[in-house]
Every structure is written in C-alpha cells, then in structure tokens.
Amino acid sequence: MTTLEPATDAAQDNLAALESEAIHIFREVAGEFDRPVILFSGGKDSTLLLHLAIKAFWPAPVPFPLLHVDTGHNFDEVIEFRDRVVEKHGLRLVVAKVQDWIDDGKLEERADGLRNPLQTTPLLETIAENKFDAVFGGGRRDEERARAKERIFSLRNAFGQWEPRRQRPELWNLYNGRHRPGEQVRVFPLSNWTEADVWNYIAREKVELPSIYYAHQREVYQRDGMWLAEGPWGGPKPHEEVKELTVRYRTVGDGSCTGAIESTAATVEEVIAEVSASRLTERGATRADDRMSEAAMEDRKREGYF
Amino acid sequence: MSSLLRLATAGSVDDGKSTLVGRLLYDTKSVLADQLDAVTRASVDKGLSTPDLSLLVDGLRSEREQGITIDVAYRYFATPKRSFVLADTPGHVQYTRNTVTGASTAQLAVLLVDARKGVIEQTRRHAAVLSLLGVPQLVLAVNKIDLIDYDEATFAVIADEFQSHAKSLGYQDGTVLSIPVSALEGDNVASKSDRTPWYLGPTLLEHLENVPVAPDPHDAAFRFPVQYVIRPRTPEYPDYRGYAGQIAAGTVRPGDAVVVLPQGLHTTVERIDTPDGPLEEAGAGSSVTILLADDFDIARGELIASAERQPAVTDEISAALCWLSSKPLKAGAQVWVKHGAKTVKAIVEELNARFDEQTLSTVGDPESLQLNDIGQVTLRLAEELPVDDYKLSPRTGAFIVIDPKDGDTLAAGLVGERFA
C-alpha cells in the first residue's frame, strides 16, 4: 500500500531479507507438518509463493501439492498459465470446483452472481478430505486492516475459523506449528511484503505472470464503477454497453468481481511506474467483494477464508 | 545503513498509539485515497468533523466498537530512505504479552506517554520488557503536547524521569530519545512543529530514518540451526545432501571448521549453496544450504556451529521467562521447549525469582508466575540443547515454551541470568 518505486540498492537488501524470511517459513513447515499444501490461483501473489517454494527446496522438488479453489469464473489466460506452471515444475494440483458444490446442492448461487464468497466451503471441505494440516496462502498484511492482525502461522480450529483474540504470540522467528487433530495452520510467507515489494521482486527475479497483468485489448462493460469482462457470471446485461479498451488487471480473482483498469503498462517496469502513481489500493480499485461491508474481510476470515 | 527498520510501539491505553501510527502512515503517504475515504466515512458516521486516524489501524470490528486496540498488528510504510515494519501493540495491561511479541524482533521501540500523565506504571513495565528483550533503541514520544500548551518544562520533567529509568535498565546515552509530539495535530511526527521552538531534536520520522541500526556483530560466532535436509535423489543430483536453514548468528565461508551439536561431530564447510549459485560468504539472516566435507547423518534440529567458539551443550538451563498465558506456571510443570529448529520436552524444576518491573528488583522463590510476569527459572530438558546466553546471541539464546496439552505458546524464554 506504500508508494511503489523502482528498487534502489537499499530496497534490494530489503527484498533479500524478505526472500530469506519466506524461505525460512517454507522450510519450517516442511519440517514440522505432515501434509502441507500451497493455495495456488495463478494470481501474482500465489505465483510468487510458488517461486519462493521452489527456491526453498532447490535442487529438490517442492514437497507439497498445490490447491486451486476454482470458482468457475476464470480468465482463460490464468487457467492456461496455472496448468503450464504445474506441468513445468512437475507439481501435483488439486482442484476444488465451486460448481461441484453448487451441483450437489451444498451451495447456492448468490443473487448477485459473486462466487468469491462461496469459496470457503469447498476450501474447508477439501482441506479436511485431504487431511491437509498446513495451508500456505499468499495473503499480505498490507492488503487490509484485518489482515494486518494475522500471524505468519495462524491456527484455525476444526471448523477452519480464525479467532483474532486468541492468536498465539509469535516470537523471534520461532514459529509454533503445534495443532490438534482436525485443526489446521494457515501459513503466510508473504506476510511482511507490500505490493511494492511483490512487484519489485517479480522484476528482479523475472517471474512470469499470466498475461492479463499487462496491458491488452479487451471488450469490457461497466458495472458498479468497474470494468468487467464478458463471462459466465452474467454479463453484459442488455443495458450494459460493451467497449473495447486497453486494460490490464491489478489483481486476479473471480471474474465476476475482479475489474480491469485502463492501462497501457505492458512491462513489469511500466506496471511499477503505474502502480506507484496510483492513489488507490489494489483491492480498493478492483475487488467488489471487499467493499461489501466495513469488516468484510474480517468476517470472511472468521468463517475460514484466507 | 540498513534499509529496513523493524520497530514496535508500546504504551498504555488511550495515550494515542493508534492515532500516532495512523499519523505516520498518513504523513508518509502510505494511505491511499480509498482507505482514507473509508476512514472519513466512518468518522462522519461517528459524528466527527475530521478523520479519526486511529481508524486506519484498528482493523477489527470489536476494536472499532470499543475504540481500543486488541491485538498486535503489523504496518508497513516507507520513505525514500528506509522501509519500516511496525509492530503496533496494544496498551491494555492484559495484552502486555503482545508487547513482548512485537518487541522480540524490534530494533527500536517507540514508547508513548500522555504529556498530562507522564511516566506511569505501564511505561516502566514496558521499558523493562524492552530492555529484557534487548531492544537496542528507545524513543519516548511525549504525546498530546498540545493539551499542555506545548510546555517545555513539563516535557523536560517527563524526559528526565524516563532517561534515568532507562539508564537504570542499562540503556546508555545515545540510545534513548524523547520527542514532544501531538499525534492528533501532527506536531513533530513527520514535520517539525513551530509550536515547540524549544525542541531542537529531530522529528520522530527523521529519527526513524536516520537512527543507526546495530548490525549483527560481524565477529559473532557462527550459528546455523539445521531446519531441513535437502536430498533430491534426482538423476541430476543423486548424491546431494544439503543442510538448509537460516544463519542465526555470525558468518560462514567454505573451508570453515564447524562442529555439529549436540552430536559433537567435527568437519568443514564444503559449499554454501543457493538456487542463484554458490556463495563465497553468508551472514546472519541469510537462508542458505550448507554442504559439509564429511558425509554425516545430520537431522533437523541439530546445530552447525563454529568449531572454535561453541555454545554450551546442556540439559539444564537457567533462563528468564516472560509468561504470556493466563494459565499460571508452577514448579514441576511439564512443557515443550522450541529452540531453533528443535522441540524438546522439559520440566520447570525451580522458580527462582520473579522480577518486579516497578522497583527493578527481584522477589525470591515465587509460588507461581502469572500472566505478564517475568521470572527466572531452571529448566531440565529431556535432551541436550546447544544454547548461548541471550545477551551474546539472541537467536540461539531464545526459545519458546509450549503447552503440551493444547499447543499454546506459554512463554518467551531467554537463556542466562537476566537480572541480578
């Protein structure tokens, strides 16, 4: 959420410290847990997470599978990217499809068509079914006020719930991964990264991202002040006028609530320059689900969301 | 100079910590338009005429309802000179444990006092905790200076009292700075106030940007807890056996003589590996993979250390505990101790003393340690651990105490005699 600027020497030291901390966290989980999994959506934070995991265990393979909670409202480019990355690194991918839960009658489609809020149940049930005991997420504390309170090792009860008043103190770099059967620990190696750090590190390490993070031509229509693309989430409606614009995405999530921004930034350097001039946070700009109430993120985290 | 400063705030309730942190974020332009809009809307809803900056940081529903900070939160801001990670800790007495949490990694702590109240019990308690944990730099922010009409004499009395308290805790001159501020009005936070012409020192932000951060002493003895053994067994790397971890102290170079503890195996470092290529030298804080000259069987939890300067290997340690749990500690308790990458069973053999932060003296043979107490104890371990005195090597002198029943973190532990 801080101003983005091309990384100076001092910032490079900062990136090295953040990288080292994240690698330490990955190895700690590998040493202490039986069945970890990395949440992977193909977005920039989870792509960065995977990049760091690969570095943490090099030259051995990453000892965890990936888990994608698939809302069914995806951008084709992101799914293509996801599958290519999994293939390239010889990883195992578990996909939990929200559509399957809807088809089973366990979840009901919302009137507004948003599927991000529907992810929690498939996530928790897939964790339980696979007996995952540690779940890596790409959450950063700078994203949101409730996330600022999150521990790096965050214990969730048998219902996957977060209880902010009962968090374990986290001292030095001694992470406590103890949990009872049925409980799980959410792990956030990117906790101390800011959006600026993420982009500067992506530039430094030449991390490939889905193409939709960079400027391209797309047909979009305006809804609730956001530019949405056509898709299975019910748009455009007859009165919603479609325009072809040069856009890119600042975050990648469910297509029903992730908006594009008008942009000509086609390279990492141009993205860094653009974001540094922006007066909006990445979520404030393009994520409808966080606007639903003042405590939307906190409430979803309490239920078991990331 | 280090580009990153880790700092913690401390202070008692209602002295304006959240407002000060909100002010730092606001004045460093770390708050973007949509965040400020949200705060402005919420402030209007509360009937306020100006944005309540504390709402930028009090993120939980119950915090906003009660107007207090409940849990430690981490904030990020940056200036062209430095990046900052700020652990924002609550001031309520029952949450002192969060001050310990925030301070365990802090290189500087900002203690707030209300200029109308001066140094109070909680200030002394927090300063003692910060000293115990070895936080090298302190700032006393004498807040609400506007409410005492920017009075120099009152500020001087508070600053003098705090300086002498800090001195008795072991803080040398040059490590403690007092600044008159108004978090609400912004005086001396990011910009110099013309309402305190008598104050000649830096603003809070200037000080944070320029304060020297004591680097890890380059001559510290090498310490490397083995976190994970990397054995690819791939066609490309059939015989690779690397010990992965984060260097806890000192530096290492290929050829260095090392010892693996507690086994006591002697060997040399063959190679320091990273995915970006091997290194000629690696220092504290770096996550690396070490390959040794001899093919020993070494497991997670062991320590690779300088052969010339070894830590003590012992199954009985004397340590200070900051007790962070509402379950009291009594002698004879069975616990887990996590030190480096090793977790061992332990028995608390004796409670030797309890520290009184008010009088800075110790009370012998306490019955128990209660929430927020600091005590000196003797621990007997089920297995030997290689430990250093916390004062000499914090990362290998620190441990956490875990409840074997529910896995809760009970205490912060510091090896060695912490108070005479």
pLDDT at B306 over 90: yes
Task: Name the band, by pLDDT with cuts 50, 70 and 90, for residue A39.
Answer: very high
- Closest alpha carbon to B268 in B290, B250, B244: B290
Q: How confident is the model at residue A70 (pLDDT cuts 50, 70, 90)?
A: very high
Position B26 scores a pLDDT of 84
Q: What pLDDT was estimated at residue B47?
A: 79
> Which range is least confidently modeled, A214-228, B42-56, B180-194, B320-334?
B42-56
Contact B27, B191 (CB under 8 A): yes
On the question of pLDDT at A294 being above 50, the answer is no
Say yes or no for a CB contact (<8 Å) between B71 and A174. no
Q: Could you tell me whether strands B4-11 and B108-114 are parallel, antiparallel, or unpaired per DSSP bridges?
A: parallel
Enumerate the β-bridge partners of residue B288. Answer: B245
Q: With a CB-CB cutoff of 8 Å, which residues 208-267 of chain A face chain B?
A: none
Q: How confident is the model over B321-344, as a mean pLDDT?
A: 96
Least confident stretch, B86-90, B165-169, B227-231: B86-90
Which tokens in the block code for residue A91?
């990883």
Contact A27 B4 (CB under 8 A): no
One-letter amino acid of A1: M
Report pLDDT for A285. 52
Contact between chains at A17 and B285 (C-beta distance less than 8 A): yes
Query: pLDDT tens digits, residue range B143-174?
Result: 999 999 999 999 999 999 999 999 999 999 89
Dig out the tokens for B80 from the structure. Answer: 């062209």
CB atoms closer than 10 angstroms to residue B194 = 8
Closest Cα in chain B, distance from residue A212 (Å)? 24
Q: Please give the residue of chain B at the shortest CA–CA distance from A53.
A: B275
Q: Which of B302, B265, B298, B266 is nearest to B383 (CA)?
A: B302
Give the pLDDT confidence score for residue A281 in this predicted structure: 66
Average pLDDT over residues A21-31: 98
Nearest Cα neighbor of A175 from A1, A64, A29, A291 is A29
Q: Which residue from A minimizes the CA distance to B39?
A: A294
Q: A129 in contact with B at a CB cutoff of 8 Å?
A: no
Q: What is the pLDDT of residue A74?
A: 87
Q: How far is B155 from chain A (nearest CA, A)?
A: 33
pLDDT value at B82 more than 80: yes
Contacts with A64 from chain B: Cβ below 8 Å: none
Q: Using 50, 70 and 90 to split pLDDT, how confident is the model at A3? A: very low
Q: B285: pLDDT confidence band, cut at 50, 70 and 90?
A: very high
Q: Do A55 and B275 touch (CB under 8 A)?
A: yes
> Quick check: B226 and A27 in contact, CB under 8 A?
no
The enclosing H or E element of B251 equals strand B251-252
Kindly tell me if the per-residue pLDDT of B139 is higher than 70. yes
A31 lies within 8 A of chain B by CB = yes
3-state secondary structure string across chain A: CCCCCCCCHHHHHHHHHHHHHHHHHHHHHHHHCCCEEEECCCCHHHHHHHHHHHHHHCCCCCCCCEEEEECCCCCHHHHHHHHHHHHHCCCCEEEEEHHHHHHCCCCCCCCCCCCHHHCHHHHHHHHHHHCCCEEECCCCHHHCCCHHHCCCEEEECCCCCCCHHHCCCCECCECCCCCCCCCEEEECCCCCCCHHHHHHHHHHHCCCCCHHHCCEEEEEEEECCEEEECECCCECCCCCCEEEEEEEECCCCCCCCECEEECCCCCHHHHHHHHHHCCCCHHHHHEHHHHCCCCHHHHHHHHCCC
* Tens-place pLDDT, residues B9-65: 988 767 788 889 888 888 887 776 667 777 777 777 777 777 777 777 665 555 555
Which residues from B are below 8 Å from A299, CB to CB? Answer: 61
Per-residue pLDDT at A51: 98
Interchain contact B338–A (C-beta under 8 A): yes
Residues B338-362 have a mean pLDDT of: 91
Quick one: pLDDT band at residue B1, thresholds 50, 70, 90? very low
Mean pLDDT of A215-236: 85
Report the pLDDT averaged over residues B248-272.
97
On the question of pLDDT at A254 being above 80, the answer is no
Give the mean model confidence (pLDDT) for residues B310-323: 96
Q: Which of B33, B98, B409 sits opposite A280 (nearest CB)?
A: B33
- What's the confidence (pLDDT) of residue A1? 39
Cross-chain residue pair A192–B85, CB shorter than 8 Å: yes
Task: Verify whether the Cβ–Cβ distance B83 to A14 is below 8 Å.
Answer: yes
Inform me whether the pLDDT recorded for A205 exceeds 70.
Answer: yes
Q: Is pLDDT of B183 > 80?
A: yes
Residue B388 sits at the chain A interface (C-beta within 8 Å): no
Determine, for residues A2 and B97 on separate chains, whether the beta-carbon distance falls below 8 Å. Answer: no
Return the sign of the alpha-carbon dihedral for residues A55, A56, A57, A59.
Answer: positive
A294 contacts B409? CB cut-off 8 A: no
